[in-house]
A and B are shown apart, each in its own frame.
Chain A
Amino acid sequence: GENVEQHPSTLSVQEGDSAVIKCTYSDSASNYFPWYKQELGKRPQLIIDIRSNVGEKKDQRIAVTLNKTAKHFSLHITETQPEDSAVYFCAVRESTLGRLYFGRGTQLTVWP
């Protein structure tokens, strides 16, 4: 099966700075890479996703980049705000069974 590794496990940044979270995967045939944000006590919410035929996708302050050759993808948050504080999970959907594999999560804290 797929092996997804996410780094770092915790990340603290000052308000206004950028934050980058990286995930690597093992199956080169995997084709879908979503990112979820989970605020304390709430359900994980899909915030952005990218498919294997695209290298970069941006939505306002968040962006995701995909390097298929190196098998890694990253979440970029610019101009961070305290409300960005949450746990972020990357995920990978394998192409054979279609199962969704999650990384272990990154606790992002944005200090005002």
Chain B
Amino acid sequence: EAGVTQSPTHLIKTRGQQATLRCSPISGHTSVYWYQQALGLGLQFLLWYDEGEERNRGNFPPRFSGRQFPNYSSELNVNALELEDSALYLCASSSQQNTEAFFGQGTRLTVV
């Protein structure tokens, strides 16, 4: 069974551009979480989607947004990129029945 997959693995953008990151959860999982991990720091919660709806949002500006599709895959959009948005973006998925959350390999976003 495939795990959580994220694309692209690496993304380089210039300041002011937009970035789109994608996440495919484990089959059967309906919840997708997004986290930002800046170099040397912990996991900062961004967004949580479940059953197609946004359930919770972390302390990030509105230019961080996303959505979840009917097949439960998810997209994270970051508008008006700033240098400090450079980080590893991780998504995790879990099911409603179980509580374990499994992470994807992450997308390394670099803003220059």
Q: Which residues of A contact B (CB under 8 A)?
A: 32, 34, 36, 42-46, 49, 51, 89, 91, 93, 97-105
Contact = CB atoms under 8 A, between A and B. Distances in A.
Contacts of A36: 103
B41 to A, nearest CB: 8
A99 B56 contact: yes
Interface string B52-66: 000110000000000
A100 B42 contact: no
A100 B102 contact: no
Interface string B29-48: 00101010000011101001
B66 to A, nearest CB: 15
B110 interface: no
Main secondary structure of the interface of A (DSSP, over half): strand
A12 B45 CA distance: 28
B26 interface: no
Nearest to A49: B100
Contact of A102 (B43, B100, B106): B43
Contact of A34 (B31, B48, B100, B106): B100
Contact of A43 (B48, B56, B104): B104
Contacts of A103: 42
B103 A43 contact: yes
A22 to B, nearest CB: 16
Nearest to A99: B56
Nearest to B104: A43
B11 to A, nearest CB: 16
A103 B100 CA distance: 16
A100 B101 CA distance: 9
14 contacts: A34-B99, A42-B105, A43-B104, A43-B105, A44-B43, A49-B99, A91-B101, A97-B55, A98-B31, A99-B45, A99-B48, A102-B35, A102-B45, A103-B42
A51 B41 CA distance: 27
A34 B101 contact: yes
A86 B50 CA distance: 30
B90 interface: yes
A104 to B, nearest CB: 4
